[in-house]
């Protein structure tokens, strides 16, 4: 009978309940979208930050081999790392690195002028720093020893365009490249030439040696810190260093974004409760007669109010569910607009949003307390 | 026969107005009592107190051994559900419930619902083919018959009828009065408020109220 009465109550006040339903649904839509963003914002923002480039550097630190002029007379880094060992430890640590690329820098000569040449994994260049712009095309094969990328300042200096040939000289050893693309990085990379790591190692007679590894690690700060700690333990003596400016800015922005979203959720919950409150106040007045009659027939106030609370709870659940479904679309739209990428629906947001909406609807049903004061005799007299 | 209803020096005051002023009488089980008197004489107040809808200012009202003045809100609610069946002048049906559901509502507040029993009660009052109609789809007489079925569904000790035919045309009035006569014949105790002497004449006994006082001239019929 309870379900039957509930159904009839809902049907009998469709107009007024529809107004409250619109309010609850609107609130649930925005809240579920915000909560989806809240859960996803860390991933999205981390992706955004990863677009700014590497956030971890591995360098020789104290244990790096000291260079002697005989090894690198025209100037390389003061210390080097064993490529095989470092990369093996990165693999073993299962660090969720988006990209890791080893680098070996030399200063070679092109057309009799010095130029910084970075030997690296050319196929990871674009992944490591997605904000770089290129004229020409990226190099997709790590083994390609014939092509190179050059910074825009180098291109200007030597009047290079993509497709042209570049000859490098290092200590009398020559290398010949075709310029695949010109990079506009907006930084020091604009003054460098990027070529195949193996070839540069051979050119510098530093086979298996690298100077740094740049890593771009996905995930929140704690993931980053854990990865750094793991690698530090695995590579004693080497320096595994997060790039502080990036990670700290990321942490601050994440905290502020979370706070903003939570404040908005609270505000919307309050507004939704007010909407339900207004509707329920009107409904409570309308239902005085029904309640008076029910009391006259022996209905206890707890049983009667339970009926009306179930009605309000149903309203909250229905509004929450519809709002969640609409929130998927809103979250996707917001994701596209804010992050330029779609936000995937989070199913764990559903029960949370529905529970919040039921809670808000019940809080908004406070005027139903007035029904407890209804005197059946007064109502039946028509007063 | 044992008294089902005992009233002693019952008083009810609304502000400065004395609705009931020292009323005393008793009703035996199975009696049909007509409570008569002009408007404002305290008839409905008396019925409301006996039905546990209102509480007396002083005096005692005992129904089936229960002193109503001693009951709290929850006790009065339970009393209404178990001991009395109401028939109101205005029918007072829930407009969005069908005839069947209106009857079952009283069952629900009493204990558990039994749809078959509710249907049988509606068939008894001649509404077997109208069970799924809403009050708005029923005539006044039919609505009052639904109210009678609702009043009877929990087999109450006492039926309280406040001007049960006051809103009905003559044909429907006769139908409802016939129902009350049947109920009385079955042994139900009925207290009925009415203005009409010819309706009051159907009862075993008549109690007259004037300005909240009993006029000690009950008429045996």
Looking at the partner chain, which of B94, B106, B107 has a beta carbon nearest the beta carbon of A290? B94
A304 and A237 in a common domain? no
- Residue A48: predicted pLDDT: 63
The percentage of chain B sitting over the pLDDT mark of 70, rounded to a whole number, equals 96
Nearest CB neighbour to A377, from listed B53, B92, B94: B53
Q: How many CB pairs under 8 A join A and B?
A: 72
What pLDDT, on a 0 to 100 scale, did the predictor assign at position A247? 62
**Residue A159 above 60 pLDDT?**
yes
Shortest Cα distance, chain A CAs vs residue B221, angstroms: 30
Give which of A291, A298, A311, A371 to mutate to test B binding, by max B Cβ within 10 Å.
A298
Can you give B25-68 as a three-state secondary structure string?
EEEECCCEEEEECCCCCCHHHHHHHHCCCCCCCEEEEEECCEEH
Q: Is the pLDDT of residue A132 over 70?
A: yes
Residues on chain B bordering chain A, Cβ-to-Cβ distance under 8 angstroms: 44, 48, 51, 53-54, 73-74, 77-82, 86, 88, 90, 92, 94-97, 101, 104-110, 113, 150
Selected residue with higher pLDDT from B136 and A256? B136
**CA–CA gap between residue B185 and residue B84 (Å, rounded):** 18
Contact A5 B44 (CB under 8 A): no
pLDDT band at B111 (very low <50, low <70, confident <90, very high): confident
* Residue where a domain terminates, one of A209, A242, A275: A242
Within a domain: A126: yes
As a whole number, the mean pLDDT across chain B is 87
Average pLDDT of span A313-340: 84
Confidence of residue A133 (pLDDT cuts 50, 70, 90): confident
For chain A, how many structural domains are there in total? 2
| Residue A284 sits in the same domain as residue A233 | no
pLDDT > 80? residue A3: yes
Q: Which two tokens stand for residue A54?
A: 């590497």
| A299 neighbourhood in chain B, CB within 8 Å | 77, 81, 105, 108-109
- Using left for φ > 0, alpha for ψ between -120 and 50, and beta otherwise, residue A301 falls in alpha
d(CA A100, CA A111): 32
What confidence tens digit (pLDDT) does each residue in B58-77 have?
A: 899 999 888 888 888 889 98
Helix axes B115-124, B140-152, angle to 10 degrees: 130
Test B109 with A294 for CB contact under 8 angstroms. Answer: yes
The residue of chain A nearest to residue B85, with distances taken between CA atoms, is: A297
A88 and A192 fall within a common domain = yes
- In sequence order, the β-bridge partners of residue A135 are A182
Q: Which domains are assigned to chain B?
A: 3-215 (3.40.50.300)
Give me the mean pLDDT over the A71-93 stretch: 71
Residue A78 above 60 pLDDT?
A: no
Contacting residues for B82 by C-beta, under 8 A, at least 6 apart: A298, B110, B154, B156
pLDDT of residue B44 exceeding 80 = yes
Could you tell me the pLDDT band of residue A73, with boundaries at 50, 70 and 90?
Answer: very low
Instruction: Please indicate, yes or no, whether residues A128 and A83 belong to a single structural domain of this protein.
Output: yes
Average pLDDT, stretch B30-49? 88
Residue B90: the pLDDT is 84
* CA–CA gap between residue A231 and residue A217 (Å, rounded): 12
pLDDT value of position B102: 94
Tell me, rounded to whole angstroms, the distance of Cα A124 from its chain centroid. 21
- Euclidean distance between CA atoms A63 and A80, whole angstroms: 9
- A200, burial (CB in 10 Å: exposed 0-12, middle 13-18, buried 19+): buried
A117 shares a domain with A36: no
Euclidean distance between CA atoms B104 and B114, whole angstroms: 7
Residues A261 and A361 in one domain: yes
Q: Do B48 and A293 touch (CB under 8 A)?
A: no
Pick left, alpha or beta for residue A219 (phi over 0 → left; psi -120 to 50 → alpha; otherwise beta).
left
In DSSP terms, which residues pair with B86 in a beta bridge?
B160
**3-class SS at A124?**
helix
DSSP helix/strand/coil, A193: strand
Model confidence pLDDT, tens digit, residues A105-117: 999 998 888 999 9
Of A192, A208, A242, the residue at which a domain comes to its end is A242
Query: Are A280 and A338 members of one domain?
Result: yes
Q: Which residues contact B15 (CB under 8 A, 6 or more apart)?
A: none
Which residues of chain A lie closer than 8 angstroms to B48, CB-CB? 377, 380
Q: pLDDT confidence of A43, banded at 50, 70, 90?
A: low
| Residues A85 and A229 grouped into a single domain | yes
Phi and psi, residue A135, nearest 5°: -105, 125
d(Cα B80, Cα B86) in Å, to the nearest integer?
9
Do residues A375 and A305 share a domain? yes
* Cβ within 8 Å, pair A1-B48: no
At A375 the three-state DSSP class reads coil
pLDDT at A65 over 80: no
User: Cβ contacts (< 8 Å) between B82 and chain A: which residues?
Assistant: 298
Residue A353 confidence (pLDDT) above 60: yes
**Closest chain A residue to B115, measured at CA:** A1
Q: Which pLDDT does position A198 carry in this prediction?
A: 92
Residue of chain A whose Cα is closest to the Cα of B150: A297
Q: Is the pLDDT of residue A152 over 60?
A: yes
- Is A5's CB within 8 Å of B74's CB? no
Residue A59 DSSP SS3? strand
Nearest CB to A303 within list B97, B109, B150: B109
Crossing angle (nearest 10°) for helices A301-339 and A244-286: 150
What does the pLDDT look like over A282-298, one tens digit per residue?
877 888 888 888 888 88
Q: Return the residue matching tokens 């069908």.
A: B98
Q: How is A139-166 classified by DSSP, letter by letter?
A: ---TT--SEEEEEHHHHHHHT--TT-EE
Same domain flag for A145 and A77: yes
Does the residue A214 lie in any domain?
Answer: yes
Q: What is the DSSP string of A201-269?
A: HHHTT-TTEESEEEEEE-S-HHHHHHHHHHHHHHSTTSEEEE-HHHHHHHHHHHHHHHHHHHHHHHHHH
Instruction: Please give the Cα distance from B67 to B123 (Å, whole number).
Output: 35
Q: Which residues of B touch A381 (CB under 8 A)?
A: 44
Comparing CA positions, the residue from A331, A373, A90, A334 lying closest to residue A228 is A90
Nearest CB among A4, A293, A299 relative to B92 is that of: A293
Do A173 and A309 lie in one domain? The reply is: no
Q: How far is CA A34 from CA A21, A30, A96, A328, A333, in A?
A: 19, 6, 27, 10, 12
pLDDT tens digits, A23-38: 889 888 988 888 887 7
Q: Answer yes or no: is A247 within a domain.
A: no
Task: For residues B198-213, give the mean pLDDT.
Answer: 87
State the residue range of the domain holding A208: 55-242
| Residues B104, A9: C-beta atoms closer than 8 Å | no
- The answer to the question of residue A209 being in a domain is yes
DSSP letter assigned to residue A76: B
CB contact under 8 A, A1 and B86: no
Q: Extract the tokens encoding B175.
A: 């139908």
Tell me how close the Cα of A322 comes to any Cα of chain B, in angstroms: 26
CA A14/CA B148 separation, integer angstroms: 30
Strands B3-14 and A192-196: unpaired
Residue A366 lies in a domain: yes
- Residue A377: pLDDT band with limits 50, 70, 90: confident
B157 chain-A contacts, CB cut-off 8 A = none
DSSP for B51-115 reads TTSS--SEEEEEETTEEGGG--HHHHHHHHHHHEEEE-TT----TTS-HHHHHHHHHHHHS---H
- Give the nearest partner residue to B113 out of A1, A295, A300, using CB atoms: A1
Q: Which of A190, A216, A242 is the last residue of a domain?
A: A242
CA A165 vs CA A158, A161, A177, B96: distances in Å: 11, 9, 6, 88
Instruction: Please list every residue in chain A whose beta carbon sits closer than 8 Å to the beta carbon of residue B80.
Output: 295-298
| Judgement on whether residues A335 and A291 belong to the same structural domain of the protein | yes
Residue that has been written with the tokens 């974004």 in this structure: A257
Q: Please tell me the least confidently modeled range out of A51-65, A277-291, A366-380.
A: A51-65
In a domain, A248, yes or no: no
């Amino acid at each position: 009978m309870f379900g039957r009465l509930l159904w009839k109550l809902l049907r009998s006040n469709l107009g007024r309940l529809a107004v409250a339903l619109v309010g609850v649904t609107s609130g649930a839509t925005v809240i579920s979208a915000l909560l989806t963003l809240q859960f996803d914002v860390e991933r999205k923002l981390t992706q955004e930050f990863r677009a700014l480039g590497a956030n971890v550097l591995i360098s020789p630190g104290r244990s790096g081999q000291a260079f002697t002029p005989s090894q690198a007379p025209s100037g390389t880094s003061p210390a080097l790392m064993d490529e095989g060992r470092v990369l093996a430890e990165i693999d073993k640590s299962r660090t969720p690195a988006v990209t890791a690329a080893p680098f070996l820098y030399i200063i070679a000569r092109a057309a009799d002028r010095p130029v910084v040449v970075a030997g690296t994994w050319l196929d990871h260049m674009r992944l490591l720093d997605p904000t770089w712009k290129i004229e020409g095309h990226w190099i997709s094969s790590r083994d390609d020893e014939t092509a190179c990328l050059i910074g825009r300042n180098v291109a200007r200096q030597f009047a290079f365009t993509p497709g042209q040939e570049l000859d490098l000289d290092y200590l009398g050893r020559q290398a010949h490249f075709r310029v695949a693309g010109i990079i506009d990085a907006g930084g020091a990379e604009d003054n460098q030439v990027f070529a195949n790591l193996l070839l540069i190692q051979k050119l510098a007679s530093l086979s298996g040696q690298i100077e740094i590894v740049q890593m771009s690690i996905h995930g929140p700060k704690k993931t980053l810190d854990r990865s750094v700690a793991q690698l530090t333990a695995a590579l004693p003596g080497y320096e595994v260093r997060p790039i502080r400016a990036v990670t700290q800015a990321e942490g601050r922005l994440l905290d502020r974004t979370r706070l903003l979203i939570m404040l908005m959720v609270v505000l919307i919950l309050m507004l939704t409760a007010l909407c339900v409150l207004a509707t329920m106040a009107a409904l409570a007045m309308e239902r005085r007669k029904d309640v008076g009659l029910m009391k006259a027939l022996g209905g206890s106030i707890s049983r009667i109010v339970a009926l009306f609370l179930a009605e309000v709870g149903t309203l909250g659940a229905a509004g929450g569910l519809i709002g969640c479904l609409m929130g998927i679309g809103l979250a996707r739209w917001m994701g596209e607009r804010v992050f330029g990428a779609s936000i995937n629906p989070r199913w764990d947001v559903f029960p949370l949003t529905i529970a919040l909406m039921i809670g808000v609807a019940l809080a908004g049903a406070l005027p139903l307390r007035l029904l407890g004061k209804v005197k059946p005799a007064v109502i039946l007299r028509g007063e | 026969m044992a008294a089902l209803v005992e009233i002693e020096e019952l008083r009810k005051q609304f502000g400065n107005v004395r609705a009931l002023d020292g009323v005393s009488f008793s009703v035996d089980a199975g009696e049909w009592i007509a409570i008569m008197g002009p408007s404002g004489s305290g008839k409905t107040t008396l019925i409301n107190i006996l039905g546990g809808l209102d509480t007396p200012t002083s005096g005692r009202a005992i129904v089936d051994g229960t002193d109503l003045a001693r009951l709290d809100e929850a006790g009065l609610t339970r009393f209404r559900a178990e001991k009395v069946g109401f028939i109101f002048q205005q029918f007072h049906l829930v407009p969005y419930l069908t005839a069947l559901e209106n009857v079952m509502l009283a069952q629900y507040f009493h204990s558990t619902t039994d749809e078959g029993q509710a249907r049988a009660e509606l068939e008894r009052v001649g509404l077997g083919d109208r069970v799924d109609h809403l009050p708005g789809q029923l005539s006044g007489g039919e609505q009052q018959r639904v109210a009678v079925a609702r009043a009877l569904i929990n087999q109450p000790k006492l039926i309280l009828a406040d001007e049960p035919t006051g809103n009905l045309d003559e044909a429907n009035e006769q139908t409802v009065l016939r129902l009350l006569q049947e109920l009385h014949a079955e042994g139900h105790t009925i207290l009925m408020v009415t203005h009409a002497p010819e309706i009051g004449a159907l009862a075993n006994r008549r109690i007259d109220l004037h300005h909240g006082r009993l006029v000690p001239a009950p008429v045996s019929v």
